[in-house]
Each structure stands twice: as structure tokens, then as C-alpha cells.
């Protein structure tokens, strides 16, 4: 079991880029693309407690802004527990983080994200 506490500095720009893209698409009311980039940020940030919690916070805000009750309710436990699970190394690898998937389901990591993760951790 590998315990992570801090995201590697060379991985952080990729994580921040995904959050930035999510925000840009949201501002332009392209909610599908915005959510897609939040999911990608979740995959990149999931092993790291702060980043994992931040993405769930952003997902909760997304749910609130678009008035999606299922997402709001689904994000609350993820927000409370996600960072702790990261800290102890008990995360479902590749999980995209939304209420539309079971919180403990392992998922395949998209090839381009897997490459980024492998090259920058």
C-alpha cells in the first residue's frame, strides 16, 4: 500500500489544467465538457488527499449550480471521505468521482491520463 500526501509538482500542472478547462466550459454553459474535465481532474487527483477533496468540492458546486439533486447528495459523502481514503491509499483506481458511478468501483484510466500519471509521479 502506497500512502500519498502531496501531489508531485510535475503532475500538478496537468491537474490544474483539467480544473481550468472544467471552469472554462462551465462558464460557456458546455456542462457536458465541463463535467468531463472534472472527471479527468478526479482521476489525476484521486491518490492525493487535498486534490481529491478539492475535486469533490468542485463536483458538489457543479451539482448545486445545475440543480442536480442526485449529484449534490452523491458528492456529500465523497467529499467527507475521499481525502481520507486517499491518505490511507484505499482508492478505487480510475473512478471518475461522480454520483453516476459507484464510489468504490475501479475503472480503466484513459490511455492519455495513464501516460501522464506514469510519466509524472
The pTM of the full predicted model, rounded to 2 decimals, is: 0.94
Over the stretch 87-121, which tens digit does the pLDDT of each residue have?
887 889 999 999 999 999 999 999 999 999 999 97
Grid coordinates standing for 98?
461522480
CA atoms within 13 A on the CB side of 74: 18
Q: In angstroms, what is the C-alpha Rg of the chain?
A: 13
Over the stretch 45-69, which tens digit does the pLDDT of each residue have?
999 999 999 999 999 999 999 999 9
**Can you tell me whether residue 82 is helix, strand or coil?**
helix
**Domain boundaries defined on the chain:** 12-120
Average pLDDT over residues 20-28: 98
Amino acid at each position: 500500500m502506497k500512502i500519498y500526501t502531496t501531489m508531485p509538482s510535475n503532475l500538478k500542472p496537468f491537474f490544474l489544467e483539467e480544473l481550468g478547462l472544467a471552469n472554462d466550459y462551465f462558464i460557456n454553459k458546455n456542462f457536458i465538457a465541463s463535467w468531463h474535465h472534472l472527471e479527468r481532474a478526479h482521476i489525476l487527483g484521486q491518490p492525493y488527499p487535498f486534490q481529491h477533496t478539492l475535486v469533490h468540492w468542485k463536483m458538489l458546486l457543479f451539482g448545486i449550480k445545475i440543480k442536480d439533486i442526485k449529484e449534490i447528495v452523491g458528492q456529500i459523502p465523497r467529499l467527507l471521505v475521499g481525502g481520507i481514503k486517499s491518505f490511507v491509499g484505499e482508492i478505487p483506481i480510475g473512478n471518475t468521482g461522480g454520483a453516476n458511478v459507484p464510489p468504490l468501483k475501479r475503472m480503466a484510466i484513459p490511455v492519455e491520463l495513464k501516460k501522464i500519471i506514469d510519466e509524472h509521479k
